[in-house]
Amino acid sequence: MVESRATSHARPWWVRAVTAALTVALLSTPHLATGQETTPDVISGNATGVGPVNTTVEEPENATQGLEGAEGSPNTTGPVTPEPAPQQNDDDYFGTLIGDFTNDAVGTFNIQNCSLLEGLAGCGNNITASDVGTSAIVNAILGLLSFLGFGILRSRIKIYRARLASPATTVKPPRLPEGGLSQIFSWIPPVLLMSDQSLLECSGLDALMYTRFLMLSVQFFVPISVVSLGVLLPVHYTAEGDGYNRCEYPNPKQNADRLFRTTVSNMCPNEPLLWVHFVFVYLVLAWAMWLLQKHYVAYSSLRHHYIGIPQKPNRWFERYIDVKVGDKEEKDGMGDRKDEFCNTPTLAYINEDFVSPRPPVDFESVEGTSESPPTKDSPQRSDSLRNIASSVAGWKDFAKAWFSPDKLLDHKGEEPEDIKVFNSIRRADDSNVMSKYNGENDAVSNVILTSMSLKDQADVCTQSPHRGDHLDSTESLERGTSFAALKWWDVYTETSASGSKKGHERECMVRPSVRHIKGVNCTQDDLLVSVNAAQYAVLVTDIPQDTVQVETLRRNHSRNHSRETNRLSFGTEDDFDALQDIDPSGDICTQVFKQIFPESFMHVVPVYDFSSVTKLLLQWDKAAQRLEIQEGLYQKTGVRPTMRTGFLGLCGTRVDSIEHLQKVVEKLNLKIKRERRRAKLRSERKCSFVLFNNQVDAAVAAQSVLLPLDGTKFVTHRAPGPDNINWLTLFKSNKDKFVRRLLILPILIIVMVFPAGFFSSAMAVLDSLFCTDTAPVYWDWYCSTTSPIGILLKRLITGWLPSLLVTVWQNVIVTRVFYIAALVECVAFSLSGVDKRITSLYFYWDFFNIFLGSVLGAGLFTLFGQAVGLDDLRDVLEAIGQGITSSATFLTNYVLLRAFCLVPFKLLFPHPGILGYLLSFVRGRVTRRQRFDSWSPKSWMYGRESGTSLLMCLIGVVYSATSPITVGVVAVYFLGMVVVARHHLIYVYSRNYESGGELWPVLFDRLIIILGSFAIFTSCQLLTKQAWFQAVTIFLTAPFLLFKFWSIQRKRHALVSEHIPLDIAWRQPKASVPPQMYIASELRSGAVGWHPEQGKAWSGYGLPRFL
């Protein structure tokens, strides 16, 4: 023992000092302080259980002979003279206390000698190469079946082309080829060959940046996996076992698990080949930073493009928001064109240059064509093989786009002309040049009148109650002249006013799309264009209620700058419109902005709590839907339906259904109108939107301190777009927000620390109980059988099922808790901010629960206590390093499930709405709305999808130098996700808001953290292999390089992209943003623009809007 200690102290002083500093820095961070309780144990000498504080690390047999006793092996034999126990200081006591607490917690949940708080690898039985192989085969079979099922059913189930069929989609993608056996895979080339410019036009910048994040992941992991599998895998595998003995052990292992032999744990201590890992780390960091820099350049350019280029005119805006809509002159000017607008529309593309790579074809209408596949004469079938074998030029352009990540390319493989011009503009006389790309002659009227307008227009144009075989009755809802809410599911026609498709009509929905909500029309260079209303608005929060102090500080302010309030409103005397309440007299916002920006200030739009109106509108919507169904049944059968008025229609008086529901709707109409007035009186105004007529003053105001007040009062922010407002946050005061965060914090902590390894341990316990003859679930055949089916069943229970249960827990429980928490916290003013918050919460859960849970398990508290007490440093370091390698088996199993099974399954089952679509055929669909609801597009869950992708990035990056097979599977995952995500974002999901790619900076920051974790944990693994110099060098240099890279990119791109550059702002046209744009649809007369899923970050999933 004395000789061993002397040898230990013979190590260089700088090695011991850096080792101690490394341990304290690593284990004293807030990440580890969270205390996850899931992972394989490596302290107690077995691969899955965590032992007490002062236990030793199990080492390979005869490994100490290779170390020549340099580290004082715990296996030293011979007589040992007992030494007096040292006096325990406070740090030692703290470490022991934490260790005892952990052991007690682990023992509390002990069943069949297995604690349910063990790591993700489970209890007692390691996941072997055979288990992983079985899981890979099962996942591959399930994934193949899902892929084939999607390929066969995609032409028959409308959900798979929901955006193509929906009249709420303004820019629609091309129809994919259908028919024949090639239908199974003929959709892949068009999806991959669709240019980024086309995806931007169709799905928006948020969707484009998310697919670019997946593209970055593919560009990173494919080369890294090739190098890892081609270089590191042979180095690991040939160290020891099956005749290999590079370590020169006297008795090398012969039957070690082959999966463990592929990891760095099979390497020899302090061997020269560990320099390969050292070089590999810096290659990974260099490649990642180069890719991140290129994609950040692209994001910055696209962000400025999104801000600075006007779009096509907003015709929905003219129809429902502009006060000129509905004037008698416009109605009378229709003349002989009335019949033209009432005809069944012929749908066409908005942008003739949009489609790539296929030529344009007609869209299907809202009701859709037959659900059967195309006939033999269909052009889709005859062209399918030609589309699969796309031209060489098309694939060349595709490759060019992938090898030029810092540019946006069109379907010709070139930078779009508008971006070229935009990037080259430098002179003042070029400020209006951009309008020519999307502008239209403002003399062309594009207002289409239908029977569903704000006023009675039945004499102008009446829709036919029958279209094909579809029956829709709306008699009761159209009798009144004043509506509590418009029928958002109604459809009208719109005519293209310019371009090669001039004169073509297409169907539009009363429910507005994101383009309709966020765009305001203006004139630039004598052309009509639409610009982003958010660029002309500023959000003011925490407005002081007592203005005495404010007026005292602002002594030079004069109240003589009064102005006429805009009282224009299309509401009636009985139906209050919040437009009547803009520019409130004596308002501090009006006074301040009128004085500072006298030329550009336009309006102040106060924010009131309208949640009670929303509740009544939801009741009205349900009642209106039931009324339509009953009237439809009456027209179809000729029999007046009846119903009972009691609980769930099971009791009470039987009445005529139509008459009863008519009364309910009329009563709710009156309640909604009254509640609109009460909303202003009941709520205290805490926030306001301030509107300007130019973008320069709006940008200056959003980034300035306007009043000499407390920094928490009268705070200005860049306003979110009208489509992107999280109204709940604006209703709450700072005190309310603080209380809500305290209330939700315990729930977040429970979800964060609840061990995902519970499911692995539970399956291990179940496996043990099946073979315990005293257990009530004893299964003799399961324990004694040697048949292939029995062996397969065991491997599925212990190897495949735990990964599946973790995934179900993540998607069903964790996702919804994080969504609710992000709403309750009221941190974000925008819906995109809610998704960013969910992404952050997901990343914390990924890192602490899944990753650290698989590495350290229930021993995390124990290791933390040891690190603080500087006790057993070698045990701590080896526990971390070896924990990473020992957890590679479970995480490889987990990524196999996602890559081989869940990615193809997402094609077949994009969202739970597909179950409702199938059930709708059983329940029957009477009205147009029922049919639309059964397949209507849902929104993409950016927060959840980004969190899942970050988890896969975390596993792949950290294990790139540890487990080559793991990083190879992660590369396969992202290859599949690129195809699936592009298809779904183009054809299946619709956006609920457009933020201009604001999620990208969050993903960038998290990727930097992942790269830093990769460097730190790799250095820990090198320490366990006694590669002292390599480990210390990586630990000291890699985090510094990453921080410097992050700070440079943030200065170059992040701050410039967050706010609109004034050089871009002054080139934009002046615009008069109507106050209605920033009045909640619930408070507008007729609730113009309202629908049940409006204002949610995730629509279509039954999640709440207000909490």
pLDDT band at 741 (very low <50, low <70, confident <90, very high): very high
φ and ψ of 245, to 5 deg: -155, 60
Q: Residue 256: enclosing H or E segment and its boundaries?
A: none
Q: In the predicted model, is pLDDT for residue 243 greater than 90?
A: no
Summarised one tens digit per residue, pLDDT across range 873-893 is: 556 655 666 666 667 777 888
Beta strands in 753-824 (DSSP E): none
pLDDT band at 977 (very low <50, low <70, confident <90, very high): very high
CA distances from residue 435 to 30, 424, 660, 1069 in whole angstroms, order as listed: 51, 15, 54, 9
Please give the average per-residue pLDDT across 476-493, as a whole number.
65
Q: pLDDT value at position 221?
A: 96
Token pair, residue 306, equals 């999104």
Ranges 113-117, 167-171, 178-182, 284-288, most confident: 284-288
The C-alpha atoms of residue 323 and residue 218 are separated, in whole angstroms, by 50
First to last CA, the chain: 64
Q: Which residue has the tokens 């250095």?
A: 1019
Q: Which residue has the tokens 């869950």?
A: 941
Q: Where is average pLDDT lowest: 310-319, 713-722, 934-943, 1006-1015?
A: 310-319
Q: In the predicted model, is pLDDT for residue 244 greater than 90?
A: no
The C-alpha atoms of residue 247 and residue 270 are separated, in whole angstroms, by 10
Q: Which residue has the tokens 């928006």?
A: 204
The C-alpha atoms of residue 149 and residue 141 are separated, in whole angstroms, by 12
Q: pLDDT value at position 978?
A: 95
Please give the average per-residue pLDDT across 21-39, as a whole number.
41
Q: Where is average pLDDT lowest: 123-127, 306-310, 526-530?
A: 123-127
Q: pLDDT value at position 116?
A: 54
Q: pLDDT value at position 989?
A: 94
DSSP secondary structure string for all residues of 812-865: IIIHHHHHHHHHHHT--SBHHHHHHHHHHHHHHHIIIIIIHHHHTBTTHHHHHH
The C-alpha atoms of residue 512 and residue 932 are separated, in whole angstroms, by 15
Q: pLDDT value at position 1064?
A: 85
Angle made by CA atoms 641, 644, 647, in degrees to the nearest 5:
140
Do 531 and 310 touch, CB atoms closer than 8 A?
A: yes
Ranges 12-26, 723-737, 1017-1031, most confident: 723-737
Upper half-sphere CA count for residue 409 (Cβ side, 13 Å):
21
Q: pLDDT value at position 691?
A: 94
Token pair, residue 945, equals 């999808």
Q: Where is average pLDDT lowest: 279-288, 405-414, 595-604, 639-648?
A: 405-414
Please give the average per-residue pLDDT across 706-730, as a whole number.
88
Please give the average per-residue pLDDT across 728-735, as a whole number.
90
Q: In the predicted model, is pLDDT for residue 14 greater than 80?
A: no
Q: In the predicted model, is pLDDT for residue 415 greater than 80?
A: no
Q: Residue 537: enclosing H or E segment and its boundaries?
A: strand 537-541
Summarised one tens digit per residue, pLDDT across range 802-836 is: 888 888 888 889 999 999 999 999 999 999 999 99
pLDDT band at 572 (very low <50, low <70, confident <90, very high): very low
The C-alpha atoms of residue 956 and residue 977 are separated, in whole angstroms, by 15
Q: pLDDT value at position 422?
A: 52
Please give the average per-residue pLDDT across 593-614, as a whole number.
90
Ranges 513-522, 767-776, 1042-1051, most confident: 1042-1051
Q: In the predicted model, is pLDDT for residue 679 greater than 70?
A: yes
pLDDT band at 352 (very low <50, low <70, confident <90, very high): very low
Q: Using alpha carbons, select from 146, 38, 2, 157 the residue that is nearest to residue 761.
A: 38
Helices (H), 228-365: 233-237, 258-261, 274-308, 315-320, 328-332, 338-342
The C-alpha atoms of residue 964 and residue 167 are separated, in whole angstroms, by 48
The C-alpha atoms of residue 986 and residue 188 are separated, in whole angstroms, by 12
CA distances from residue 461 to 109, 316, 434, 457, 833 in whole angstroms, order as listed: 71, 18, 37, 7, 42
pLDDT band at 476 (very low <50, low <70, confident <90, very high): low
The C-alpha atoms of residue 733 and residue 717 are separated, in whole angstroms, by 16
Please give the average per-residue pLDDT across 49-75, as a whole number.
38
Summarised one tens digit per residue, pLDDT across range 924-949 is: 778 888 888 889 999 999 999 999 99
| Pairwise pLDDT comparison (1104 vs 249), residue with the higher score | 1104
pLDDT band at 428 (very low <50, low <70, confident <90, very high): very low
Please give the average per-residue pLDDT across 203-224, as a whole number.
94
Q: In the predicted model, is pLDDT for residue 702 greater than 80?
A: yes
Summarised one tens digit per residue, pLDDT across range 612-655 is: 999 999 999 999 889 988 888 888 888 888 888 878 777 878 88
Q: What percentage of the chain exceeds 90 in pLDDT?
A: 27
| Pairwise pLDDT comparison (92 vs 885), residue with the higher score | 885
- Dmax of the chain from CA atoms? 111
Q: In the predicted model, is pLDDT for residue 214 greater than 90?
A: yes
pLDDT band at 470 (very low <50, low <70, confident <90, very high): very low
Q: Which residues of 450-476 are buried (b: 16+ CB within 10 A; e: fewer)?
A: bbbbbeeeeebbebeeeeeebbbbbeb
| Pairwise pLDDT comparison (146 vs 878), residue with the higher score | 146
Q: In the predicted model, is pLDDT for residue 955 greater than 60?
A: yes
Please give the average per-residue pLDDT across 907-928, as a whole number.
85
Q: In the predicted model, is pLDDT for residue 402 greater than 70?
A: yes
Q: pLDDT value at position 557?
A: 43
Stated length of the chain: 1107
Ranges 404-418, 444-458, 799-813, 857-871, most confident: 799-813
Q: What percentage of the chain exceeds 70 in pLDDT?
A: 66
pLDDT band at 969 (very low <50, low <70, confident <90, very high): very high
Q: In the predicted model, is pLDDT for residue 477 greater than 70?
A: no
| Pairwise pLDDT comparison (117 vs 825), residue with the higher score | 825
pLDDT band at 478 (very low <50, low <70, confident <90, very high): low
Do 54 and 869 touch, CB atoms closer than 8 A?
A: no
Q: pLDDT value at position 1013?
A: 93
| Pairwise pLDDT comparison (110 vs 1021), residue with the higher score | 1021
